[in-house]
Amino acid sequence: MTDTHVKIFDTTLRDGEQAPGFSMSAGQKLQMAKALEALNVDVMEAGFAAASPGDFEAVKTIATEVKESVVCSLSRCNEGDIRASGEAIKPAAQGRIHTFIATSPLHREFKLKMSKDEIVRRAVAGVELARNYTDDVEFSCEDAIRTERDYLKRVVEAAIKAGATTINIPDTVGYTTPQEIQDLFEFLVTDIEGGDGVIFSAHCHDDLGLAVANSLAAVRGGARQVECALNGIGERAGNCALEEVAMALRTRADFFGLSTQIKTQGLYGASKLLATITGNPVPRNKAIIGKNAFAHESGIHQHGVLANRETYEIMKPEDVGVSTDNLVLGKHSGRAALKDRAQKLGFDLGENQLQTVFVSFKALADEKKEVFDADIEAIILGEAVGESGPWHIDSLYVSAGSDNGKQPVATVKLHHDDGREEKWSQEAAGPVNATFLAISHITGQPLHLDSFSVQSVSEGEDAMAEASVQVSTEFNAYHGRGTSTDTVLAGARAYLDVINRIERRADRQKAIAAQH
């Protein structure tokens, strides 16, 4: 293997998004697709076009909007899936169909109930059909790690002869080890007939905590594409984390002798955007992009870093987009200062977005003495993922306490884009609960609250709060986000965010049904 470029195949929008608790709306998927394109990922798997009309439209929209990255749709090795993928990626400047079939004994016997010969025929037919839509066809042997090596060789060679240009070897259940997967890829790149004309790819899951280590081992064995997801999200324990594998290859270029084309300075911003969209915060100790990744509390560590950063830091915070210049802005700061600060935080604001963010910044600056980087991030991310309406909060007043056994009361006034104005007062066991019940009464959306959390975005007595809610209906789960210097108002905004998502989703489904 002489090629030193490792392609980054990002599956945040497919494998990541299909994991419980990480679903995104079509608009949010497009926001993330734009962020992934800005990171310079080689390929983005935009979704599973055949899964639903909504997934088809999301893949098609991303294929239309994204120009710099290859846009890919997943499909099983059957005609309906592949045709749906082919139609969805038609608008793409660069389109790929990724088709797969399981090959391991367990999957052959219990899931597919197919013979070895039938699976080979299905694989060949799937690749050949996909080639009618694009020359860029990826083929995966699902559960490849637990497939007999001689049979894996047979299936892969058949797929290559049928026209596959990328061969993906998934560790579907996160079962392998670094030494084992490196040995497998060394076998594949040397023993597969036609292997010198394709790219071998690794897709590793993190069930044993080895996804990144296994992916890097596969690269050492000859893989030249790594399938991964931002923040390591994905089915079960997740996927190989994009930010970790990209920074490992960059930081240890002396060892691997390989590189990616990822613009690593955008990693922190993209990670924050994903966490905000999905309502799943990044753990503090998460490698590369966690809050503690570049924090040093131990006295001996602090002394070393002050003397020379390389004593305890193998990467610069700026390399992943973490600013160390926590410039404080206030109510007298102008648009130019805000735009410059946003750029240093990894956000390139267009004029329209800058104006919207500036209005929110001024409103916050009037409430707070000082506006910190984290406050600015929260405002920008809120604008980036917020899809306004149809419901809006006009006013919220709450009473709380335990005087004479009285329950807290929330009085909420909302208005709707259709002109309705509604007001309701509600008693409940707590002020937040009373607020949520009042909003549900006004909007006619009874929801089951699964979780509610609030965290301080910045510091000080007037710190901004970021609230997250997870709610569910009979058939679906949703998350919402809201920010404010008032904790209860932040929660109300997060809860109303969910209700707005539900109403917008219902409107979109009606529109899609009308088109068909």
For the segment 210-218, the average pLDDT, to the nearest whole number, is 98
Report H helices in 252-402.
253-256, 267-278, 299-307, 335-344, 351-367, 373-385
Nearest to 507 by CA among 499, 421, 438: 499
**Above 60 in pLDDT, residue 1?**
no
Average pLDDT, the chain: 89
Q: Which residue has the tokens 């019940």?
A: 437
Planar angle of CA 331, 332, 335, nearest 5 degrees: 95
Strands (DSSP E) found in 172-240: 199-204, 225-228
Nearest to 462 by CA among 364, 373, 395: 364
Least confident of 5-14, 31-40, 298-307: 298-307
* Residue 311, pLDDT score: 59
Q: What's the residue count for the chain? A: 516
Distance, in Å, from the CA atom of 301 to the CA atom of 50, rounded to the nearest integer, reads 52
What is 391-515's CATH topology?
A: Double Stranded RNA Binding Domain (3.30.160)
Instruction: Confirm if 46 and 36 have CB atoms less than 8 A apart.
Output: no
Question: pLDDT tens-digit profile of 299-351?
Answer: 444 445 445 566 557 888 889 988 766 556 777 788 888 888 787 776 778 88
Question: pLDDT tens-digit profile of 140-158?
Answer: 999 999 999 999 999 999 9
Nearest to 6 by CA among 37, 38, 43, 39: 43
Nearest to 237 by CA among 248, 246, 229, 227: 229
For the segment 104-109, the average pLDDT, to the nearest whole number, is 94
Percent pLDDT > 90 in the chain is 62
Task: Kindly report the backbone phi and psi dihedral angles of residue 159, in degrees, each rounded to the nearest multiple of 5, phi listed first.
Answer: -65, -40
**Domain-wise residue ranges, the chain:** 7-278, 292-322, 323-385, 391-515
* Residue 298, pLDDT score: 41
For the segment 411-417, the average pLDDT, to the nearest whole number, is 95
Q: Give per-residue burial for 200-227: e unless 16+ CB within 10 Å, then b.
A: bbbbbbbbbebbbbbbbbbbbbbbbbbb
* Residue 301, pLDDT score: 45
- pTM higher than 0.85: no
CATH superfamily of this structure's domain 7-278? Aldolase class I (3.20.20.70)
Distance, in Å, from the CA atom of 464 to the CA atom of 490, rounded to the nearest integer, reads 9
* Residue 239, pLDDT score: 97
Question: pLDDT tens-digit profile of 351-398?
Answer: 887 888 888 888 777 776 677 777 777 777 766 555 567 999 999 999
Report H helices in 114-177.
116-130, 149-162
Nearest to 393 by CA among 513, 255, 486, 298: 486
For the segment 72-81, the average pLDDT, to the nearest whole number, is 97
